[in-house]
Amino acid sequence: MEHIRTPKVENVHMIDRLTPRKSTAGTLYLSSTHTIFVENSEARKETWVLHSLVYNVERLPTNPSGSPLLIRCKNFHVYRLLIPQEKDCLDVLASLTRLSRPECYGELFCFSFNPNLDKELREKAWGFIDLKAEFSRMGIPSNLWHVTAANHEYRLCETYPSELFVPKSAFPAVIVGSAKFRSRGRLPVLSYFHRDTSASICRSSQPLSGFSARSADDEQMLHAIMKSNPVSELMYVVDTRPKLNAMANRATGKGYENEDHYTNIKLQFVGIENIHVMRSSQQKLVDVGELPAPSMSDFLWGLENSGWLKHIKAVLDAGVFIAKAVAEDGVSVLVHCSDGWDRTAQACSLASVLLDPYYRTIKGLMVLIEKDWVSFGHKFSHRYAHLDGDPKEVSPVMDQFLECVWQLMQQFPCAFEFNERFLIQLHTHIYSCQYGNFIGNCQKERRDLRLQERTHSLWPHLWENRAEYTNPLYRTDHSQTQGVLKPLTTAYCFKFWKGMYGHADKSVASHQSPADCLNAVREESQQLEEELSAHQEVPRETDAGQETCPTEGEENFRGEEEDQQAV
Amino acid sequence: MEFAELIKTPRVDGVVLHRPFMPTVEGTLCLTGHHLILSSRQDNTEELWLLHANIDSIEKRFIGSLGTIIVKCKDLRVIQLDIPGMEECLNIASSIEALSTLDSVSLMYPFFYRPLFEVIEDGWQLFVPEEAFKDLESMTDEWRLSEVNKDFSVCPSYPSLLTVPKDIDDESLCKAASFRHGGRFPVLSYYHKKNGMVMMRAAQPLTGTNGRRCKEDEKLINATLCAGKRGYIIDTRTVAVAQQAKARGGGFEQEANYPQWRRIHKAVERSNVLQESLIKLVEACNDQSHSMDRWLSKLEASNWQSNVKEILTTACLAAQCIDREGASVLVHGTEGTDSTLQVTSLAQIILDPACRTIRGFEVLIEREWLQAGHPFQQRCAQSAYSNGKPRSEAPVFLLFLDCVWQILRQFPCSFQFNENFLIMLFEHAYASQFGTFLGNSVAERLKLLLSQKTVSLWSWVNRPQELERFLNPLYEPNNLVIWPSVAPQSLLLWEGVFLRWNRSSKCLDEANQEMVHIIEYNKELQNKVNSLRRQLAQLETEDGPLQTP
């Protein structure tokens, strides 16, 4: 509370950018967690903005009607306020600037957020996603893959989960040796096992190969992975970086696998740019959305200039390459980038979405994010600026993954159980710090923060509200739901994601949503089904339903029958 | 003339057909007077029946004695035929070229086509001006139906019956006509029932460089204003273009002579520019090798989406003047047969729920495009693959359909028809077995005896078994004015037309089927429940209330 200089400002106006005349007057409140705007109108409509979702606050020059304040959010919402007194505006600015940049984990909203769950329920909620169960769904452990205790207490790799799945044929010494030869100890381990072909997707960081270094253990580790797919004599190593970047890394003693040193590997670069390029690309895209009254050319030129869709295509192309190798060629793939926690997570998880229908369900996507992102040490708190820190660590890595899934939904409208709203909700919570799931940068950090005792889990909350996130066109027995997705990745298949980036303006919002209409229809159908089955529980009604004009005698007879039943 | 003279080789065996996203078919290629047919003579394999009129251009290539003909169609499809034998290939190519560029309208397929269905409702009678006027009369008595153009001498591109202000006599109309480009004097386009405001359309006034004026023209449009009210003139051209038009005898309404009107200039492109835009767009869509940057820059450079935005913006402006400002509107560009019609017809879709039904939309096309004298035959003579110098070809109608699709996409529950209906109209405007889009005006159509010698598109479309394909399952009649967003991010590329042949539509079709399925299942359940409820009610009245313990 010590950061709030002014808890309440009256006569503030919320301004609609496109139609400034349509501003609404109200009172602005600052709480320790939210900025709240309450309209003066009869309805007392409230707008709540979470401090942790605030990206930045900007004050525009004071004009005769007051001091304008711009609040830009991490979910791309923009609020325009007009505050009558300059002093109040400065106070709000200073308060919000400080409140939106927590300096330590303890200040985060998740530690004060209390949805009134008792201790037992909270613990149960944290068990909602069970990664062991997920591996066993894939058929792991098996006669070729098993869990290793090598990373117990995170002694091998701080940023990996404590339980790792590796080939049975890889001896402990090989595991340790391989970890030593990989950047930050992130050795090759199993991410996804494809039952139909026995091919696997493994992940790691880059090898410490420099210009000539090699490690017999690492070479054996890759060989063991290849051998864990008995039918294949080959294995792909997908380096998700542009080749030039990978080569540059050799000068610092890192780099990529030398094909001559490893038996039967095929190296493939897929050219996803680094986090800095992505950060500036997204900023340019957001700027396009903020252009005042852009022409079509402004918009298309801005879209091109941002490079955003080009990057989205690169990420999806990586996923498509891996999925094809696994499903069509039956070849195992090791995926890495530099550290193996950004591009690697994107590529592995997208390939999994393409390969496995389970990850296209609501629960499945949660499991996938928990596995490929949370447990494998994607640096959520750094990437999504949970704390006031190094701006160079911030990058929309997860945003891109979610967008790739959205682009897939455009091509395969019946293939996903969830809808766009689910993706947007996930995006918001990755930034919001309201739940504990995405706090910290790796499993160890989360354990040390005792998040499971001190915060709540997002997943059960989303699951309870799944009706809101369901795609009406999804049917488990639909052909699109089954098997491997093979999307087209021609440039023209990629669209600007209006639902994510286009809501800086209310007037641009969709007028009618077919999905909402269909959901309403489906809900009604369900009620009708219930009503029908209620009628049909009485045998008389089953028959009567098929007859148009029953004779009087029968009618009476049946009437009696029903009376008896009712008693 | 006999078609046989043009067909040098009527059939070739062993021809291989390649189509994107479809398996290749080997079979016999046959040329008839109006069709290119490829038949595999196997059961269950799809045959290709292509109207020669649908062929926009062809290219031939040879590798040894194997010839290849690339056929580029007006519906934007590109197919490839591999023909063994150089001579056969050359013969086929030159035959197709001759047959697809016949000059005489009366040789077109609609004059030869005999429907295999019974015409229940004659589409040529879909729109009867007298009946439309009766509807208008029930709402207002300020208009009359004039026969001044009954022999098409006052305005050759107008129909014979025109709705004009009651107080303006035919003599004044003739004078006003002589003051407007092509004789297109201001006539009623739309009456807004809600507030009695009207939309009129015309061609540019012939003010010329010395500022000619015409009292009758002024009186004519002033007659549509209520006392003390101002109206809006929406000129679809920029001020600069309108100024330049003066030098060629055209011009715009001077404030001094039309003090009760406020003139607004917009920048809807002229038809020749639109053709260029279409060619560039289709070229960009057909190149699969484009990188993302190149694709977006080519899309931008084609200007197609800008044209969509400009037309929609202008239509919204017209609708806004009428509905929000409560003012009457006069719309014109230069000739009043292209951009003017785009704007007046789109404004009606925004304002009038009736235009969003199938019937209403057909009537709109009949009234605002066919009768209003949009030169379909000239505009649709060639499509995006024409290599010759464009004469008067222009995708004016296609752009209108694209704009309708944009509104449909933003209001998916407010239209009785679906996207397929719009695509079908695009196809038939360019090549058809029906006579509806032949000719350039009512006068030409009468001369060609189209209503006697050809079948109307509407006779076919309005049969229940055909209509089914065009119904929007989400349709809920909506009596409101619908305001589309014209922000660039709200306007999408019309994939159903421009990427139709460049990707498989299987998954999207499945999604549509699923949608239909969900809604039909709901209807089925409703019927069942209703009939059960009825029976229950019946039982209760017959037996007295059921006793519940």
Euclidean distance between CA atoms B96 and B52, whole angstroms:
7
Euclidean distance between CA atoms A530 and A527, whole angstroms:
5
Whether B516 is in a domain gets the answer yes
Per-residue pLDDT band for B431 (boundaries 50, 70, 90) equals very high
Comparing C-alpha atoms, which of B304, B282, B343 is closest to residue B488?
A: B304
CATH number of the domain where residue B55 is located:
2.30.29.30
For chain A, give the mean pLDDT. Answer: 91
Whether B116 is in a domain gets the answer no
CB-based contacts of B308, cutoff 8 Å, min separation 6: A296, B399, B402, B403, B406, B491
CB contact under 8 A, A521 and B294: no
User: The whole model's pTM is what?
Assistant: 0.93
Same domain assignment for residues B59 and B191? no
CB contact under 8 A, A529 and B490: no
- DSSP state at residue A372: I
Task: Among A304, A490, A524, select the one facing B293 at the smallest CB separation.
Answer: A304
The DSSP annotation for B256-324 comes to TT-TTEEEEE--PPPHHHHHHHHHHHHHHHH-TT--HHHHHHHHHHH-HHHHHHHHHHHHHHHHHHHHT
Same domain assignment for residues B398 and B440? yes
Give the burial string for A191-216 (b: 16+ CB within 10 Å, else e): bbbbeebbbbbbbbbbbbbeeebbbe
- Taking 3-state DSSP, the helix, strand and coil percentages for chain A, each rounded to the nearest 5, stand at 50, 15, 35
In this prediction, residues B151-176 reach a mean pLDDT of 97
Query: Which residue's structure tokens are 């509807």?
Result: B135
Per-residue pLDDT band for B147 (boundaries 50, 70, 90) equals very high
E strands, A245-331, are 265-269
Euclidean distance between CA atoms B482 and A316, whole angstroms:
37
Query: What was the pLDDT predicted at A547?
Result: 37
- Is A157 annotated in a binding site? The answer is no
Window 254-293 of B, Cβ < 8 Å to A? 285, 288, 290-293
Question: What are the residue ranges of helices labelled H in B1-75?
Answer: 3-6
CB contact under 8 A, B532 and A563: no
Query: What was the pLDDT predicted at A292?
Result: 83
Query: What was the pLDDT predicted at A509?
Result: 47
Task: Among B295, B297, B309, select the one facing A296 at the smallest CB separation.
Answer: B309
Using a 10 angstrom Cβ sphere, with 0-12 exposed, 13-18 middle and 19 or more buried, the burial of residue B548 is exposed
In this prediction, residues A187-209 reach a mean pLDDT of 97
Comparing C-alpha atoms, which of A411, A312, A499 is closest to residue A303?
A: A312
Query: What was the pLDDT predicted at B356?
Result: 98
ipTM score here? 0.93
- Is A543 annotated in a binding site? The answer is no
Is the separation of the CB atoms in A87 and A71 below 8 Å? Answer: no
- Is A249 annotated in a binding site? The answer is no
Query: What was the pLDDT predicted at A510?
Result: 52
Q: Would you say residue A473 has pLDDT above 50?
A: yes
CB contact under 8 A, B535 and A475: no
Using a 10 angstrom Cβ sphere, with 0-12 exposed, 13-18 middle and 19 or more buried, the burial of residue B80 is middle
Percent of chain A with pLDDT over 90: 81
Of B102, B120, B153, which marks where a domain is finished? B102
- CA torsion B191→B197→B201→B207, rounded to 10°? 160
Per-residue pLDDT band for B543 (boundaries 50, 70, 90) equals low
CB-based contacts of B221, cutoff 8 Å, min separation 6: B186, B200, B231, B258, B261, B330
- Is A271 annotated in a binding site? The answer is no
Q: Would you say residue B287 has pLDDT above 70?
A: yes
Query: What was the pLDDT predicted at B272?
Result: 85
Side by side, which strands form the sheet with A265-269?
A: A189-194, A199-204, A332-336, A235-239, A265-269
Chain A residue closest in CA terms to B308: A296
In this prediction, residues B81-86 reach a mean pLDDT of 93
Query: What was the pLDDT predicted at B20?
Result: 87
- Is A343 annotated in a binding site? The answer is yes
Euclidean distance between CA atoms B519 and A520, whole angstroms:
10
**B225 inside 8 A of chain A by CB:** no
Residue with more model confidence, B87 or B103? B87
> Nearest C-alpha of chain A: how many angstroms from B368?
27
Query: What was the pLDDT predicted at A562?
Result: 35
Q: Would you say residue A393 has pLDDT above 60?
A: yes
CB contact under 8 A, A310 and B292: yes
Same domain assignment for residues B175 and B233? yes
Ordered by start, the domain boundaries in chain A are 8-101, 119-502
| Neighbour count for residue A283 (Cβ, 10 Å) | 12
CB contact under 8 A, A525 and B299: no
**Amino acid type, B205:** P
Query: What was the pLDDT predicted at A560?
Result: 35
Query: What was the pLDDT predicted at A541?
Result: 42
SS (H, E, C) A212-261: CCCCHHHHHHHHHHHHCCCCCCCEEEEECCCHHHHHHHHCCCCCCCCCCC
Tokens representing B194?
A: 């809600």
Per-residue pLDDT band for A214 (boundaries 50, 70, 90) equals very high
Supply the Cα-derived Rg of chain B in whole angstroms. Answer: 26
Percent of chain B with pLDDT over 90: 86
Q: Would you say residue B221 has pLDDT above 60?
A: yes
Which residues are paired to A276 by β-bridges? Answer: none
> Nearest C-alpha of chain B: how many angstroms from A10?
33
Query: What was the pLDDT predicted at B387?
Result: 80
Q: Would you say residue A263 has pLDDT above 70?
A: yes
Per-residue pLDDT band for A505 (boundaries 50, 70, 90) equals low
In this prediction, residues B314-340 reach a mean pLDDT of 97
Is the separation of the CB atoms in A457 and A374 below 8 Å? Answer: no
B411: chain A residues, CB-CB within 8 Å: 511-512
Active site residues of A: 337
Query: What was the pLDDT predicted at A550?
Result: 36
Euclidean distance between CA atoms A560 and A129, whole angstroms:
53
Whether B244 is in a domain gets the answer yes
Is the separation of the CB atoms in A329 and A194 below 8 Å? Answer: no
Selection from A18-22, A48-52, A514-518, B287-291 with the highest mean pLDDT: A48-52
Per-residue pLDDT band for A558 (boundaries 50, 70, 90) equals very low
Same domain assignment for residues B487 and B458? yes
Query: What was the pLDDT predicted at A504?
Result: 54
Best residue of A16, A296, A354, A533 to probe chain B, by most B CBs closer than 10 Å: A296
Question: What's A8-101's CATH class?
Answer: mainly beta
**B413 inside 8 A of chain A by CB:** yes
Tokens representing B284?
A: 């960009």
CB-based contacts of B205, cutoff 8 Å, min separation 6: B179, B180, B181, B214, B217, B250, B251, B252, B253
Whether B336 is in a domain gets the answer yes
Whether B127 is in a domain gets the answer no
Q: Would you say residue A23 has pLDDT above 60?
A: yes
Is the separation of the CB atoms in B440 and B419 below 8 Å? Answer: no
In this prediction, residues A427-434 reach a mean pLDDT of 96
In this prediction, residues B203-224 reach a mean pLDDT of 96
In this prediction, residues A452-468 reach a mean pLDDT of 95
Euclidean distance between CA atoms A309 and A292, whole angstroms:
22
Euclidean distance between CA atoms A205 and A337, whole angstroms:
6
CB contact under 8 A, B493 and A492: yes
- Is A210 annotated in a binding site? The answer is no
Q: Would you say residue A162 has pLDDT above 80?
A: yes
Query: What was the pLDDT predicted at B540?
Result: 82
Same domain assignment for residues B514 and B448? no
Query: Which residue's structure tokens are 């009946």?
Result: B131
Comparing C-alpha atoms, which of A3, A1, A27, A2 is closest to residue A97?
A: A3
Q: Would you say residue A212 has pLDDT above 80?
A: yes
For chain B, give the mean pLDDT. Answer: 94
| Neighbour count for residue B37 (Cβ, 10 Å) | 15
CB contact under 8 A, B485 and A563: no
Q: Would you say residue B411 has pLDDT above 80?
A: yes
In this prediction, residues B473-495 reach a mean pLDDT of 94
Tokens representing B411?
A: 């209001």
Query: What was the pLDDT predicted at B545?
Result: 55
CB contact under 8 A, B411 and A512: yes
CB-based contacts of B503, cutoff 8 Å, min separation 6: A488, A490, A493, B21, B495
Is the separation of the CB atoms in B15 and B82 below 8 Å? Answer: yes
**Long-range CB pairs of B160-169, under 8 A, 24+ apart, other chains included:** B160/B442, B161/B129, B161/B130, B161/B133, B162/B187, B162/B188, B163/B129, B163/B133, B163/B136, B163/B187, B163/B188, B164/B188, B164/B220, B165/B220, B165/B223, B165/B224, B166/B141, B166/B142, B167/B223, B168/B216, B168/B219, B168/B220, B168/B223
Same domain assignment for residues B383 and B266? yes
Same domain assignment for residues B439 and B305? yes
Q: Would you say residue B362 has pLDDT above 50?
A: yes
- Is A406 annotated in a binding site? The answer is no
Q: pLDDT, tens digit, for every residue of A56-103?
A: 999 999 999 899 999 999 999 999 999 999 999 999 999 999 999 999
Same domain assignment for residues B60 and B192? no
B489: chain A residues, CB-CB within 8 Å: 289, 299, 496, 498, 501-502, 508
CB contact under 8 A, B507 and A294: no
Query: What was the pLDDT predicted at A116?
Result: 80
Best residue of B76, B288, B292 to probe chain A, by most A CBs closer than 10 Å: B292
**B521 inside 8 A of chain A by CB:** yes
Note down the domain range covering B72: 3-102
B490: chain A residues, CB-CB within 8 Å: 498, 502, 508
Whether B83 is in a domain gets the answer yes
Query: What was the pLDDT predicted at B45?
Result: 67
Question: What are the residue ranges of helices labelled H in B161-202?
Answer: 170-178
Q: How many domains does chain B have?
A: 3
Q: Would you say residue A307 has pLDDT above 60?
A: yes
Supply the Cα-derived Rg of chain A in whole angstroms. Answer: 27
Is the separation of the CB atoms in A179 and A156 below 8 Å? Answer: yes
- Is A275 annotated in a binding site? The answer is yes
Task: Among A296, A495, A510, select the one facing B305 at the smallest CB separation.
Answer: A296
CB contact under 8 A, A298 and B547: no
Query: How many CA atoms within 13 Å lie on the side-chain side of B260?
Result: 18
Side by side, which strands form the sheet with B329-332?
A: B187-192, B197-201, B329-332, B231-235, B261-265
**B477 inside 8 A of chain A by CB:** no
In this prediction, residues B447-471 reach a mean pLDDT of 96
**Amino acid type, A14:** M
Euclidean distance between CA atoms A228 and A169, whole angstroms:
8
**B488 inside 8 A of chain A by CB:** yes
Same domain assignment for residues B540 and B399? no
Category of A87 on φ-ψ map: left (φ > 0), alpha (ψ -120 to 50) or beta: alpha
Chain B residue closest in CA terms to A303: B296
